Amino acid sequence: MISLTACATASSDPGGAVCPPVVAYGQAARDRAAAELEALPEDAALVGMMADYAVMRAQARACAG
């Protein structure tokens, strides 16, 4: 890990970070997405991907303050 950071071309100071936008979804869209997700098989790849997406959205919100 240390050797990877030596290649960085920018500062790791989060003060200059650009936070990605978080798209706001209406309640109807969230309800539909939840229903579609629940209809998937429990071992569907998309279920795990959506969990990852939820984490990234939380991180983006935290980044924006």
The predicted pLDDT at position 42 comes to 87
Give the whole-angstrom CA distance, residue 28 versus residue 38: 15
pTM over 0.85: no
- Inform me whether the pLDDT recorded for 3 exceeds 60: no
The predicted pLDDT at position 1 comes to 47
Q: Structure tokens of 60? A: 């983006």
Give the whole-angstrom CA distance, residue 25 versus residue 31: 10
Give the whole-angstrom CA distance, residue 27 versus residue 30: 5
Question: What sign does the CA torsion over 22, 23, 24, 25 have?
Answer: negative
More confident residue, 5 or 65: 65
Q: pLDDT tens for residues 4-55? A: 455 555 555 556 678 999 999 999 999 999 999 999 998 999 999 999 999 9
